[in-house]
Structure 1
Amino acid sequence: MNDDIAPFRIDVPQADLDDLTLRLSRTRWPDQIPGSGWDYGVPVDYVRRLVDHWQTGYDWRRWEATLNAYPQFMTEIDGQDIYFLHVRSPRPDALALILTHGWPGSVVEYLNVIGPLSRDFHLVIPSLPGFAFSGPTRERGWNRHRTARAWAELMRRLGYQRYGAIGNDAGSFVSPELGRVDSDRVVGVHVTQIFSFPSGDPAEFASLTPADHEALRALRWFHENKMAFNVLHSQQPQTLSYAICDSPVGLLGWHAQLMGEELDPDFVLTNVMLYWLTGTATSATRFYYEDAKVDAAEAAGPTTVPIGLAMFAGDFVSIRTFAERDHQRIVRWTGYGEGGHYAAYLAPDVLSHDVREFFAALPQS
């Protein structure tokens, strides 16, 4: 296995930006039933506003420079290119953390926590295999389990004997799995969701609180109204690809369903740009397909490393009864009245404080 780690710098050719500008100018807009809002999906007026900003107010080069201000690297693990930011703390004895994003996010999710967290931690922030500069994937099998094994190898290459794992969205699947596959080195796992669902055993429901039942109702609503992306990614990612790889507005509309109007346009567009400019819109969706095809034996048994959960308002509501079935050592469970799904971006100080408190309570060696 090649252990080489090479410095990396983003330098998007101007021709790619010019091509994007031309494509945006030639958008063929869909119709919409007047007054239907979000009932049928992402509304045209919302996407039009984003595209107008994309054409007249958005500056990719500024965001490119922002990313390039941090040390970036590329390595190959298990036949796959892995791109990552590596920001060292001024404290030489600091614990290292590996932070994993999800879809339709990217490493941009974590830019606002680099400052507060790097005071006390070394930070490794990779793109998931198949996402942005870590893509596209070229073979089957890049699910959460294979990704976790790749992360363990990445941390070994960087020389970290003990480290913690942070996750949001898909990262909240990968990070606990990393704790499972590298339990001798992972101090603890901190996530913003614990995706544990009813098993079908009626006994599980006996201890549910009224708040838990409300969370179940919210989960049912999400499943019935917002899970189309999950079904399509898990079953037909290649069929979707012709729309989101050829049309930047198609990609934006598809991603906007899980970003929403509370996020500022630059954040939404920069995440979309990382998929568009790297041609990884399709390979990113394949993560869902690969995860849906996981062998049951590969996912058997609860995790045993310490886990901390920080739940934020407006995001998935985890239910502890189900979570404790899947994770034996939940040592911190905290809810916040702000933040949303992209808490690292929207509430960086709150998330950083929770991360710091979680790891401070754990043995480091």
Structure 2
Amino acid sequence: MTSPPADSIRPFRLAIPQGDLDDLHERLDRTRWPDELPGAGWAYGVPAGYLRDLVRYWRHAYDWRAAEARLNAWPQFTTTVDGAHIHFAHVRSPEPDATPLVLTHGWPGSIAEFLDVVGPLTDPAAHGGDPADAFHVVVPSIPGFGLSGPTTRTGWEAVRVADAWAELMRRLGYERFGTQGGDWGAVISRELGRAHPDRVIGVHLNLLPGAQALTEPTAGELAELGPEERERTLVSWRRWEAWSREGAGYAMLHSTRPQTLAYALTDSPVGQLAWIVEKFREWTDSQELPEEAVDRDQLLTNVMLYWLTGTAGSSARIYYERAHATGRATAPAEPSTAPTALALFPAELHMALRHKADRTDNIVRWTEFDRGGHFAAMEEPDLLVGDVRAFFRQLREKDVD
């Protein structure tokens, strides 16, 4: 029997063996807990009391089979692009003239980020929207992440992923399409529009790479800005400086020694959980606990997609590959001509500045919200869906004019 060609589209259905779930439960039951300083709170990392409670819920209340069934409601497939195994969901709209749209997650996210937005995007009429705003949605897992499985070759950084997405969309019959993403998904989505402007209708981002204040602004720089942009620049710099001082340790490890880290996170589910949940606490629009911003079960489903696939280390490699890239990926970022929308959520660490964004991107829509953070699709799905719809409607109306 001959094997299907590498560029074939193969149906996929998520079916985790019960033995893998039993193994997880046994590991959770045998967790070896560290000590902690009294009264330290979150200052040294995830507090043991909080994590014990979350692990107890994971072990005894969380229902993976329900999450699996929810994910399997999406038609899913795999293919091979540029030597990498790629998993993706492809949810076609009932509206035949729907706009093709590829949604890209980041780290420590997964396709689970989009569980609450795919339905309203593909079938707006069923969710109180206008059928004209419908999308055919493609949700890939970045190579090295989740159901795409570990990468088997070096070099899979964001530029290469963007080219792979362009090829994936071509295979699906979409010569023209839109993109949306945050975190690494924003880097990939922007690069898609920059490198393939003839194919990308529009780029919708909830983070714009490099548009924050990366150095302390000088008095002269601030004097050139209006009052609101001046204050925003100062806030952006304070956030970036605080992250660089206190929050960048994970990125340094990912960028330098992802393999060493992989042993700990692949062997310990509690270690994997803590590594991810810390970021959901720090990057969401929450006061104390991540569950104030993100549903606990959805958060655990996201963690499960790392744990069950053993992709803690391979997902971290995207940082290493970017830090050690050569060729096109290291060239100075060229401006993007693709029509671009930026949805700004107030708790986003990488606080974009309009005067910087306009230098590098064709910003045609700039929306500031009063709530939400880094994981916009999980925290504020209605706001994100509404802005995506409005952006592509704006582009359609411009084409008609």
- TM norm. shorter chain > 0.5: yes
Map of 1:285 onto structure 2: 316
Task: State the Cα deviation string for residues 187-226 of structure 1 (Å, max 9, x = none).
Answer: 1100101121457696755435112211211221122111
CA contact (8 A) 2:213 2:236 kept: no
Select 1:270's aligned residue among 279, 282, 301.
301
Map of 1:137 onto structure 2: 151
Map of 2:10 onto structure 1: 6
Select 1:323's aligned residue among 335, 348, 357.
357
Map of 2:326 onto structure 1: 295
Matching residue's letter, 1:76: T
TM-score normalised by structure 1 residue count: 0.96
**CA distance in structure 2 between the partners assigned to 1:307 and 1:344 by the alignment:** 18
Written as runs of structure 1 = structure 2, the 5 A alignment for 1:192-211 is 192-196=206-210, 197-198=212-213, 205=222, 206-207=224-225, 208-211=229-232
**CA distance in structure 2 between the partners assigned to 1:117 and 1:269 by the alignment:** 24
Matching residue's letter, 1:149: D
- SS of the aligned residue for 2:345 comes to strand
Select 1:78's aligned residue among 58, 69, 82.
82
**CA distance in structure 2 between the partners assigned to 1:52 and 1:72 by the alignment:** 31
Select 1:37's aligned residue among 32, 36, 41.
41
Shift of 1:338: 1.5
Shift of 1:308: 0.4
- SS of the aligned residue for 1:258 comes to helix
Map of 2:277 onto structure 1: 256
CA contact (8 A) 1:164 1:188 kept: yes
Select 2:268's aligned residue among 229, 233, 247.
247
- SS of the aligned residue for 1:152 comes to helix
Does structure 1 residue 111 correspond to structure 2 residue 115? yes
Shift of 1:297: 4.2
Task: State the Cα deviation string for residues 216-238 of structure 1 (Å, max 9, x = none).
Answer: 11221122111111111011111
**CA distance in structure 2 between the partners assigned to 1:156 and 1:14 by the alignment:** 37
**CA distance in structure 2 between the partners assigned to 1:307 and 1:293 by the alignment:** 28
Structure 2 unaligned residues grouped into runs of 5+: 124-133, 282-289
Shift of 1:325: 2.6
Matching residue's letter, 2:78: M
Does structure 1 residue 154 correspond to structure 2 residue 187? no
Deviates more, 1:316-325 or 1:114-123: 316-325
CA contact (8 A) 1:131 1:284 kept: yes
**CA distance in structure 2 between the partners assigned to 1:310 and 1:235 by the alignment:** 31
**CA distance in structure 2 between the partners assigned to 1:309 and 1:332 by the alignment:** 6
- SS of the aligned residue for 2:371 comes to strand
**CA distance in structure 2 between the partners assigned to 1:74 and 1:213 by the alignment:** 45
Map of 2:376 onto structure 1: 343
TM-score normalised by structure 2 residue count: 0.87
CA contact (8 A) 1:310 1:335 kept: yes
Alignment size in residue pairs:
364
Shift of 1:57: 0.5
**CA distance in structure 2 between the partners assigned to 1:90 and 1:297 by the alignment:** 39
Does structure 1 residue 165 correspond to structure 2 residue 179? yes
**CA distance in structure 2 between the partners assigned to 1:34 and 1:75 by the alignment:** 50
- SS of the aligned residue for 1:340 comes to coil
Map of 2:345 onto structure 1: 312
Does structure 1 residue 218 correspond to structure 2 residue 239? yes
Matching residue's letter, 1:51: V
**CA distance in structure 2 between the partners assigned to 1:63 and 1:297 by the alignment:** 39
- SS of the aligned residue for 1:307 comes to strand
Task: State the Cα deviation string for residues 222-271 of structure 1 (Å, max 9, x = none).
Answer: 22111111111011111111110110001111111111223232122111
Matching residue's letter, 1:315: E
**CA distance in structure 2 between the partners assigned to 1:297 and 1:76 by the alignment:** 22
CA contact (8 A) 1:198 1:204 kept: no
- SS of the aligned residue for 1:174 comes to helix
Map of 1:179 onto structure 2: 193
Q: Percent identity at matched positions?
A: 51
CA contact (8 A) 2:204 2:341 kept: yes
CA contact (8 A) 1:311 1:335 kept: yes
**CA distance in structure 2 between the partners assigned to 1:313 and 1:214 by the alignment:** 11
Alignment RMSD: 1.7
Matching residue's letter, 2:295: D
CA contact (8 A) 1:195 1:323 kept: no
